[in-house]
A and B are shown apart, each in its own frame.
Chain A
Amino acid sequence: MPTVELRGNSDLRKALRSFAPDLEKNLRQEMATGLKPVVRAARGFVPASSPMSGWAARSFNQGKFPTYSTSTIIRGITYSTSVSKKNKKGFNSMARIMNKSAVGAIYETAGRKNPQGQIWVGKRAGDSKRVSHSNNPTAGATFIGNLVPLTSSIQGQGRLIYRAWAEDKGRAHGIVMRAIDKTKAEFYSRAATPLSKAA
């Protein structure tokens, strides 16, 4: 009897959609059950107003640096139960929680790589984005200092989704993984069952 080997998440989800749509739908629902609380908690960590008055939204903004917007950040925090595209290392995921907005990403990760801000070089020192070109040499440290401290989780450091993930203490991860395993087992179980003759 020929066997079919499902390699990776994509094949599994394709197979589920093709041969067991109900399992695929159930999988999505179960994963969402685990992810929604995390997203809700993460949205709750978004400050109602800008941590700094200078970062607050204004009527006219010439700069490229996005101004603070609570609604934008909240809208950007979401989850997905679709299989993602492969990253450059060849990995994809069955589900994920995302902080998609630019301002949300800034609030989420500021100070993660450089706790005291980027190295200050001033305006006339090239155009590298890995150094600070601000007029204020301590701008980066001041910005980070005005934000809440980073929270470490098993997935990394952050202030919103990572903090929520850390405080969730693995419950969401367990729900998602259990749902995946269950679905996979069910799917293989169905595939292994010989077709019975029609009555």
Chain B
Amino acid sequence: MATQNENVSINIGSNFDSKGFKQAETAADKLNRTVKNLATTIGIAYGATAVANFGKQSVKAFLKDEEAATKLANAVKNLGIEFANPYIADYITKLEKTSKVADDQLRPAFQALLQQTGSLSASQSILNTAIETSRGSGVDLATVANDLAQAYVGNNKGLKKYYLGLTTAQIKAKSFTDIQKIMNDQFAGSNTAYLNTYSGQVGVLSLAWQNFQEKVGGTLLTLASFGDGSDGHKLNLLAATLDKIGSGIQLIGKGKEALFGLFDVTGKNGILSKFNPYPQGGTGKPKDTNISKYDALLKKAEDDRKKNQAAILKSQKEATAELKRQAALKKDAGIFDMQQIQLIAALKGKLSEDDRKRVELQLALLNENVTAADSLTKQILMAQDATGNLYKYFMQTPDAKNPFAYLDKWIADFQTKLNALQFPAAPAVVITPPVAIIPPTNPGNGGFTPGTGTYAPPATNVPPFSSGGFTPYSSSSVIPDMAASSSNYGGYAAGQYGQNGAVVVQIDGKTIATANQSQSLSGIPSNVSRVNGMFTG
């Protein structure tokens, strides 16, 4: 009744009790302060964690960049133009700045092209085409560079996706020079147009961020190696370094300048720059980018490459020719078919005249010699039947293509004969009127004479009704033997129902009385109650 009492009561001196509210307010204030402090703490901790994560990502980016640079340098070295490495590094850096394509993408693409063409100038030209095509088509640079590298050696299969306005046959027929020209015409200016878009601007920003990460990663590795002064255990010290950086950030606070100073400490103008063993960007700063003095060497390398390619091409052509020759030989080898060989061998043996003709016929059929086959067939058939009937029958044999063709004519003949059939006229039917029925002489009592017990059928001409095989009932013949002594089931002789004699029921009163007495003494209630007349047992 609490609710009702609130309504059914008169409160006097009511006052708002703000004590609880004040307490709640105070508690909320405390909670707010606590949350703020907690948020501050979490923020600092999160900031330290974020810096640590950024450091890890930066190191990864730097290592990936360094790996790509090393791969390219090694590929250049294997091509015999190791001297061009500084120039290539400089070219990649400049191309990155102008095209705003990350060096991570440029290096693998350039490497693929350089390995395929063997020519520095050709690779550069194709890479420019690849960049424009990539921007214009939306296909990533690595794929475009791979397709162009394949096209350079005649495999134009991958160019279909760029929708150059050429059929598959035309693409296959075009030379790489033509293909490159078409692609240049189609996709020229795509990169510039892309960079003017918002997406392109974001891409530029992303590229700058990647480069920043790479630089930071290099710097962090520098700091890590600076601790022990050796090249080893850099990564082991990296975690400790990152921890120190996080602590440093906590101490320094949120000052951007301090943060910038931290990251720039080993930069170009940083106080630890002289201890930084890694060049900025991690790609190895080219010391001499003047490639013109290596023109002769480059030309020689390109010539060697072309010579090698020509040799490979020649070898491939020879291999193709060899394959063709082998195919022809294989075809020719079919002449020496085993069946023919066997037939010829058989003919060389001692055969009867008939068998020889048969073998010759098989050989003629195998060689599709129709004239010889017809002649031999006639000879064989005539040999079997000198009268010539077999040969005639063979010649009259219906076309094997339709073994039932002759049935058409037969059915037509059968139909004609069927139509020509004439049935004999039916004889006239003569119906004689029935004999007049004579009624019985005494229809009232049906021939029964009362008092005599005899029955005399009245005189009539109605024929007696046939029994149809029905035997009238005879008690002495249908009741089976029901004697208890019978060995049959219940007195019935197996398989003789209704065929034995009359049933004889013998009731032994003494036996029944004894049985009833035994049941009464059994103690079963139903049997005992028989005395009371409730059950008759």
Binding site for B on A (CB under 8 A): 7-11, 31, 35, 38, 84, 86-87, 90-102, 104-105, 108-109, 155-156, 158, 161-162, 165, 172-173, 176-177, 180
Closest to B11 in A: A93
* B1 contacts A10, C-beta separation under 8 Å: no
| Complex interface bits, B1-41 against A, C-beta within 8 A gives 1, otherwise 0 | 10011111111111111111110000000000000000000
Check A161 against B13 for contact (C-beta < 8 Å).
no
Report which of B9, B12, B16 forms a contact with A177, defined as CB distance below 8 A: B12
B17→A8 contact, CB < 8 A: yes
On B, residues with C-beta under 8 Å from A are 1, 4-22
**Are A97 and B1 neighbours in the complex by a CB distance under 8 Å?**
no
A8-B16, A84-B11, A98-B8 are known; give 18 further A-B pairs, CB within 8 A: A8-B18, A9-B17, A38-B10, A86-B17, A90-B16, A90-B20, A91-B15, A91-B16, A95-B13, A96-B10, A96-B11, A98-B10, A101-B1, A102-B4, A105-B1, A108-B8, A109-B7, A156-B7
What are the residues of chain A within 8 A of B11 when measuring CB–CB? Answer: 84, 91, 93, 95-96, 155
Bound CA–CA A7/B9 (angstroms): 24
Are A155 and B19 in touch, CB under 8 angstroms? no
Judge whether B8 and A161 touch: CB under 8 Å: yes
CB distance B12 to A94 under 8 Å? Answer: yes
In the complex, the chain B residue whose C-beta lies closest to that of A108 is: B8
B75 CB, nearest partner CB in chain A, Å: 81
Q: Do A8 and B7 contact each other (CB < 8 Å), given the known contacts A90-B20, A90-B21?
A: no
B18 touches A162 (CB 8 A): no
CB <8 Å contact, A92 and B17 = yes
Q: What chain B residues lie within 8 Å of A173 (beta carbons)?
A: 12
User: Can you identify 19 A-B contacts, CB atoms within 8 angstroms?
Assistant: A7-B22, A8-B18, A9-B15, A10-B17, A11-B19, A86-B20, A87-B6, A90-B21, A91-B17, A93-B15, A96-B12, A97-B9, A102-B4, A105-B1, A105-B4, A105-B5, A109-B4, A158-B8, A176-B12
A9 to B15, CA, bound (A): 7
A73, chain B: closest CB distance, angstroms: 11
Min Cβ gap A168→B in Å is: 10
A23 → chain B, closest Cβ, in Å? 15
Q: How far is the CA of A90 from the CA of B492 in the complex (A)?
A: 106
Q: How far is the CB of B4 from chain A (nearest CB, A)?
A: 4
Query: B11, B12, B15, B20: which has the most chain A beta carbons within 10 Å?
Result: B12
Partner of A9, one of B4, B10, B13: B13
Interchain CA distance A86-B14 in the complex, whole Å = 10
In the complex, chain A residues whose CB is within 8 Å of the CB of B13: 9, 93-95, 176-177, 180
**Please, which residues of chain A bring their CB within 8 A of the CB of B14?**
91-94
Given contacts A7-B22, A105-B1, contact A98 B9 (CB under 8 A): yes
Contacts of A104 in B (CB 8 A): 8
**Residue in A91, A94, A161, A177 whose beta carbon sits within 8 Å of that of B10 in the complex:** A161
Nearest-CB distance from A105 to chain B (Å)? 4
- The contact of B17 among A90, A99, A100, A162, by CB within 8 Å, is A90
Contacts of A97 in B (CB 8 A): 9-10, 12
Query: In angstroms, how far is the closest chain B Cβ from the Cβ of A153?
Result: 8
Contacts of A7 in B (CB 8 A): 17-19, 22
Shortest distance from the beta carbon of B509 to any chain A beta carbon, whole Å = 73
Residues of B within 8 A of A84 (CB): 11
A133 to B5, CA, bound (A): 24
Assembled-state Cα–Cα distance A156/B7 (Å) = 9
Closest-by-CB residue of B relative to A86 is: B17
A150 to B21, CA, bound (A): 37
Report Cα–Cα, A101/B21, bound state, in Å.
32
Name the residue on B nearest A10 (C-beta).
Answer: B17
Pairwise interchain contact A100-B10, C-beta atoms closer than 8 A? no
Q: With a CB–CB cut-off of 8 A, which chain B residues contact A165?
A: 10
Whether B17 and A98, one on each chain, are in contact in the complex, defined by CB atoms closer than 8 angstroms, is: no
Contact residues in B for A176 (Cβ distance below 8 Å): 12-13
